[in-house]
Structure 1
Amino acid sequence: MSGDKVALVTGASRGIGRSIAVRLARDGFDVVINYLRNEDAAKQTLALVEKEGRRGWVACANVGEPDEVAAMMRSLGHLSRLDVLVHNAAIGTFKPLLDIRPNQIELAFKVNVCALLWLVKGALPLMGPGSKIVALSSVGGSRVVPNYGVVGPSKAALESLIRYLAVDLRPRGITVNAVSGGLVDTDALRAFPDWEKLAADAVAATPGGRLGGADEIASVVASLASGQLDWMCGQILRADGGATLR
């Protein structure tokens, strides 16, 4: 493939997604900024990408719907390559598992899990040897977090999907991995019930005595995107400051 390197980041209008988009721009990637509802926020991310001296494009799509993913990929027909695909978009409701409605768990799995498969299938024509796929998981995929009974199981399924995709795509020279973050200080944290207690408990359990930052998760994603970790295949890199060691 020729030309400037290009990355696509889902859910990039704010929070961790925005930090990933800006970090990749800083590392020399042009960036496609996917968002669902907040166009103004997506354009703010775009401005930050351009401030790093890179090109950017905003692309509205509900990645949980295969038809919308396909339409988004068609809208990117002007691109000749896609070097990095980052699936960061996620959705869920924070309540006890037995209070979850069927439509809520279905939506979580569509966006958090199935979307990665639709994105990969749409992106493959633009991805050649050396391309990278990275998904964002969370520690709730491997251990129980209060009021995380929808998102946690969907992240566990996402991690399984990562392993299968890694095996299928490695012969093409495409690496697939995930980054599992601990509790991160973003606006999304404040959507949790009793989030202040949740944050305080996480800080107490973390050897460094603080929450992680979105930029720190972005740095791990950037390391996978850089090509310096190409022997990593189907792995879940945990970036939680050591919180899950206790």
Structure 2
Amino acid sequence: MIVPLKGSWALVFGVSSGMGAAAARALAAEGCHVIGLHFDTAQGQEDAANLAAELRELGVRAHVFNQNVASAATRAELVPVIAELTEGAGVRVVLHSVAFGSLVPFIPTAGQAQQVSAKQMTMTVDVMAHSLVYWTQDLVAADLLGHGAKVYALTSSGGTRVLPAYGAVSAAKAAIEAHVRQLAVELAPRGVAVNALRAGTTLTPALRKIPGSDGVAARALAANPHDRLTTTEDVAEAIVLLSSTDSSWITGNVIGVDGGEAVVA
């Protein structure tokens, strides 16, 4: 059964740009209030503040916090705030859109003398994957994820493919897909659905940081049967569509949102 999102709440990690910002806009357009987290310097803080103002113009409540999503102290501080803001309604949509990792090769090459360190590897997987588990644990403990809630993680084809200097991030993507499966099974009795969205190649700030990203985008464009790349709005539309039901029967999946890119690339 289709259930309106109007008046519900979304919690978006990585809200200041890319897919997080697009999802916040799409959810707000449906009347969903937004709580957003980001971890940025001055420009990112300005972008997040401007986004919050934009969302409020749509008639919803919007609150953004510039704090480290991977910090236990952040969770301890903000989970009670989220409970207060949502006024007992809980969170309908959780989006984990966190792109913060080390883009360093495992083995030094002629053009790159650096190699990934244990600290960089641990940080990347902790921020981009394990933090989803820790936030979900705390939201459940605070009774903020009720029947019909949806939890989304963002993954990519890089979780199963090799890209230059992408090893640590690839490990994080593989880990978050495993976490999604486990959380889906453990949260099924509560009626909470958990899925990973595998976006196609999308021109986001995170993509542009990957060495050779121009070539990656060009190859994806040539392969995509829609003759274009995925946009952040494509992913946001999928989130709205999948969230507009109380059913938890679509859960534990890696759902491609790529216009068919993965089946031909």
> What interval of TM-score do these two structures reach, taking the shorter chain for normalisation?
over 0.9
Asked if structure 2 preserves the Cα contact closer than 8 Å seen for 1:61 and 1:72, the reply is no
After TM superposition, the structure 1 stretch with the greater mean CA deviation from structure 2, 69-78 or 206-215, is 69-78
After TM superposition, the structure 1 stretch with the greater mean CA deviation from structure 2, 18-27 or 116-125, is 116-125
Alpha-carbon offset, residue 228 of structure 1:
6.8
Percentage of matched positions with identical amino acids? 33
Q: Distance in 1 between matches of 2:203 and 2:246?
A: 28
Asked if structure 2 preserves the Cα contact closer than 8 Å seen for 1:136 and 1:180, the reply is yes
Matched, 1:6 2:9: yes
Q: Distance in 1 between matches of 2:128 and 2:104?
A: 17
Asked if structure 1 preserves the Cα contact closer than 8 Å seen for 2:147 and 2:190, the reply is yes
Aligned match of 1:54 in 40, 56, 60?
Answer: 60
Aligned match of 2:98 in 89, 99, 110?
Answer: 89
Structure 1 runs (4+) greater than 6 angstroms displaced: none
Asked if structure 2 preserves the Cα contact closer than 8 Å seen for 1:159 and 1:178, the reply is yes
Rg larger for:
2
Q: Distance in 1 between matches of 2:119 and 2:53?
A: 36
Alpha-carbon offset, residue 14 of structure 1:
0.9
Matched, 1:128 2:118: no
Q: Give 2:101's aligned amino acid.
A: G
After TM superposition, the structure 1 stretch with the greater mean CA deviation from structure 2, 222-231 or 3-12, is 222-231
Matched, 1:206 2:224: yes
Kindly report the root-mean-square deviation, in angstroms, between the aligned alpha carbons of the 2 structures. 1.7
Normalising by structure 1, we get a TM-score of: 0.93
Query: How many residues matched?
Result: 244
Alpha-carbon offset, residue 97 of structure 1:
2.8
The equivalent of 2:50 in structure 1 is: 44
Matched, 1:101 2:117: yes
Asked if structure 2 preserves the Cα contact closer than 8 Å seen for 1:7 and 1:82, the reply is yes
Q: Distance in 1 between matches of 2:25 and 2:47?
A: 13
* Superimposed CA distance per residue, residues 60-95 of structure 1 (whole angstroms, 9 cap, x where no aligned partner): 321112222221212224222211111111212323
Structure 2 matches for 1:121-160, cutoff 5 A? 121-124=137-140, 125-160=143-178
Q: Give 2:244's aligned amino acid.
A: S
Classify the secondary structure of the residue corresponding to 1:146: coil
Asked if structure 2 preserves the Cα contact closer than 8 Å seen for 1:132 and 1:225, the reply is yes
In the alignment, structure 2 segments of 5+ residues that lack a partner are 1-5, 108-114
Aligned match of 1:113 in 118, 124, 129?
Answer: 129
Q: Distance in 2 between matches of 1:172 and 1:164?
A: 14
Asked if structure 1 preserves the Cα contact closer than 8 Å seen for 2:149 and 2:246, the reply is no
Q: Distance in 1 between matches of 2:69 and 2:35?
A: 14
Classify the secondary structure of the residue corresponding to 2:167: coil
Q: Give 1:33's aligned amino acid.
A: G
Asked if structure 2 preserves the Cα contact closer than 8 Å seen for 1:94 and 1:192, the reply is yes
Q: Give 2:106's aligned amino acid.
A: L
In the alignment, structure 1 segments of 5+ residues that lack a partner are none
Q: Give 1:233's aligned amino acid.
A: T
Q: Distance in 2 between matches of 1:95 and 1:106?
A: 13
Q: Distance in 2 between matches of 1:233 and 1:211?
A: 26
Asked if structure 2 preserves the Cα contact closer than 8 Å seen for 1:224 and 1:230, the reply is no
Structure 2 matches for 1:142-181, cutoff 5 A? 142-181=160-199
Matched, 1:20 2:23: yes
After TM superposition, the structure 1 stretch with the greater mean CA deviation from structure 2, 25-34 or 188-197, is 188-197
